Amino acid sequence: MARSRTRKRRLLWRVGSVIALMALVAAIAGAIYVIHLDRLVTQQFEGRRWTLPARVYAAPLELYVGLALPAQDIEKELQRLEYRGVDKPAHSGEYRRQGVRINVVLRAARFADETRAAQALSITTEGGAVTALRDSAGADVPIVRLEPLLIGSVFPIHGEDRIILAPEDVPSLLPQALKAVEDRNFDSHHGVDFSAILRAVWANLKAGGIAQGGSTLTQQLVKSYFLDSRQTMGRKLREAVMAMALERRFTKADLMNAYINEIFLGQDGQRAVHGFGLASQFYFGKPVGELDTAEIALLVGLARGPSYYDPRRRPERALNRRNLVLSILSERHVVTTDEARKAAARSLGVMTRTAAGYYPAYLDFVRRTLRRDYKEEDLTEAGLRIFTSLDPRAQELAEQTLERELTRLDRVHKPKPGKDPLEGSIVVTTPQSGDVIAIVGGRRVGYSGFNRALDAARPMGSLVKPFIYLTALETGRYNAATIVNDAPVEIELARNKIWKPENYTKQTYGPVPLVRALAESLNLATVTVGVEIGVPKVAKTLQRFGLQRKPTEVPALLLGSLDATPLEVAQLYNSLANGGFRAPLRAVRAVISAEGKPLRAFPLEVTQVAEADAVYQLDRMMVQVMQRGTGRAAYSTLPPDLVVAGKSGTSSDLRDSWFAGFSGGHVAVVWMGYDDNRPTGLTGSSGALPAWSRVMAGLGTNSWSAPMPETLREVSIEYATGLAGEPSCAEDLIAVAVPASAELAVKPECDGHSLDNIAHRAGEWLRDIIH
């Protein structure tokens, strides 16, 4: 019996020893694990570097006395920047319009070259233009810029986006509200609040489900920053340990600031909205410092469940949650009862957000530009600020015009069932600077996808003709009045094939002046000129003007068998509009770091690619395209006194409809077609031209009016025949520019009587005397 008890004692001792050893090992392992988590949290949190996407901004609107911009348009720009109309503007982001006068308090802003403090401004307009700018003291302000509009972000593939807030940028109500609603013992607990856990358990038991959470703000921060969303006991234990480690190592102020910048508060397509800084912009369109009590309460309420309480998709649920937050704030004396009552009586006030809030086609061009100089991680993590040339007014005009015209054409040319609808693209530039101010990549303007402006390389059709005629003018053997024969042409190709081009009308027009051949887009006359000067020369001209690749040197090039994107066409025509000077098209003006340090400017680069006199002659001929030729229908939309130059383009079988042209201040290119390349039934004049005309009319642009080079003279010729004459003896006269030494054929009835002919002969006589 004694021996049996001894064996039991030994067995118990051994079992106890094993259990003690296992407990010791577990304790050691647990201690090592806790130390590991402590070190992990400390190292990662101390060296934390949030992924800060590059932010992309439009060009700021500059206001100055004389600017042609009525008060209603200025108000629209303020509204685009989410300024709020009030009775008495006193805070940043507020304005009041009274007829032709606007009083506004501009927000503090950072530009590419400077920062500006908040500023009160009085704007007076009269007759559709700014007549006075004055500051709060009544002193005249020569020029002022509205802050640049944020048009997008280049965020990483996982889609996190945020605006980092320093503690001094955060309104005091926000952390107070977070503590009152989410973690009332934040200032006293050590990462885990056991009393809150017990309260949550009891509340959930009474509710029969999850009615309340017991996580502290620190635990929520750990979950968001370090862990996944799995609800397992192991993950919850790890969360608690890491929360206590954070509390031991960092101050409450540091943890609160991290929470404010980290917490997930919504989803914008592929973009995850993190932190209250971005959430304030996403839901209310303004900086967090401008939020009022009701708006802060809504954002605090979203922290519990951004999808469940989404104010755009579930406004009733969001309203109830906001008002519950306001009630809690009142109960805990964070705000007064009266303040909470007034805030609860307000609507949610969330701004309507459309898909066009971002400009994916333009941002695509920006990204491609930047990737030549910056690594992907620089664009998605370093918080760069990208300042672009985008003009929001021009962009909106181009988007609305394309959508309207494509819808109109769909009604006329009904697309076949099951087929994709008609598509299009628009590019708008300013010729002198090469700035691209608007890009529309397709009819679904607010959605990422195939960017037709940059990637749809389609046959140019007759858009190539101005470069053929320019090449001819450069030889000195041709001018606007030179007679060319529009007659059947046969060109022998390889393998005994014969190319027989035709005019669009299937007719021939015989001898015509060069200016008429271009204006009416006569194929046979164009081919005759192109073959005479040589296809290789035409190919070189296109490359000089900005075509990146060498075109195939075949006769069909003369009728536009050259694939180009709308952006490439814009580059070619931009150089024509700029008098023969090529300025590479650009979207990015400057890049600065997150700290405001200039990193790179993108200066204007200009190269002369053609002599001014040849380009001037061609541009005058392209004005006739608009007044007499394939572009004349534009003046049903354009102001009658606006002088523009342009050219229509239609590819074979009416598959592509193009129009490209320019005024004194803008170049616009429009393309329309089907993605599957089926015929559209549209010419350049019936499809693209109406959209081009509406864009050019809406831009409020100025007339083309380049100075005529001294080597040229202006003459009057008959449009039909090219013969020089005067109104008294000739019909249908147009004014063209020709070299001063050019000898023109004079209409017989005018011979010896033409003032131009007499002046030309007198000039030759004087030169002979001088020499």
In tens, the pLDDT along 573-611 reads 999 999 999 999 999 999 988 888 888 778 888 999 999
Burial class (CB in 10 A: 0-12, 13-18, 19+), 496: exposed
Which pLDDT score, from 0 to 100, does residue 758 have?
47
3-class DSSP assignment, residue 115: strand
How many angstroms separate the Cα of 659 from the Cα of each of 125, 429, 629, 684? 36, 14, 13, 6
Residue pair 26/404 in contact by the 8 Å Cβ criterion: no
Which stretch of DSSP H or E encloses residue 630? none
In this prediction, residue 237 carries a pLDDT of 67
CB burial of residue 595 (10 Å; 0-12, 13-18, 19+): exposed
How far apart (Å, rounded) are the C-alpha atoms in residues 301 and 305?
8
CATH class of 157-353: mainly alpha
**Cα radius of gyration (the chain):** 35
Domain ranges of the chain: 1-47, 54-152, 157-353, 423-698, 712-770
How far, in Å, CA of 591 to CA of 697, rounded?
33
* Residue 488: count of CB within 10 angstroms of its CB: 11
What residues act catalytically? 182, 462
Q: How many CB atoms lie within 10 A of CB 373?
A: 12
CATH architecture label of 54-152: 2-Layer Sandwich (3.30)
Q: What is the pLDDT of residue 771?
A: 43
CATH number of the domain located at residue range(s) 423-698 in this protein: 3.40.710.10
Give the integer Cα–Cα distance in Å for 541 and 672.
Answer: 26
Residue 177 near residue 288 (C-beta atoms within 8 A)? no
d(CA 314, CA 316): 6
Q: What is the pLDDT of residue 572?
A: 98
DSSP-based three-state secondary structure for 418:
coil
* pLDDT for res 5: 66
C-alpha distances out from residue 723 to 1, 537, 736, Å: 140, 29, 12
Q: What are phi and psi of 613, to 5 degrees?
A: -70, -40
**Which amino acid appears at position 240 of this protein?**
A
Helix or strand run (H / E) with residue 292: none
Q: Which of 669, 710, 496 is nearest to 573 (CA)?
A: 669
Interatomic CA distance for residues 361 and 295, integer angstroms: 32
The tokens of 700 are what?
A: 């409020």
Residue ranges in the chain modelled with pLDDT below 50: 30, 33, 36, 204, 206-212, 232, 354-356, 753-758, 760-762, 764-771
pLDDT given at position 22: 60
What is 175-219 written as a DSSP string? HHHHHHHH-TTTTTSSS--HHHHHHHHHHHHHHTS-------HHH
Closest among 391, 166, 189 to 260, alpha carbons compared: 166
| Euclidean distance between CA atoms 294 and 288, whole angstroms | 13
| Nearest alpha-carbon partner for 510 in 527, 493, 492, 522 | 522
Q: Which residues contact 281 (CB under 8 A, 6 or more apart)?
A: 150, 163, 287
Starting at the earlier edge strand, list the strands of the sheet with 94-98. 84-85, 94-98, 101-106, 119-126, 129-135
| Residue type for position 306 | P
Beta bridge partners of 105: 94, 120
Residue type, 45: F
Smallest CA-to-CA distance from 551 within 431, 622, 450, 467 is with 467
Residue ranges with strand state E in 602-666:
607-608, 645-650, 656-662
What stretches of 582-688 show up as alpha helix (H) in DSSP?
612-627
Owner of token pair 């590419």: 112
> What residue type is assigned to position 40 of the chain?
L
pTM of the model: 0.83
How far is residue 746's CA from residue 748's CA, in Å, rounded to a whole number? Answer: 6
CA geometry: angle 440, 441, 443, nearest 5 deg = 85
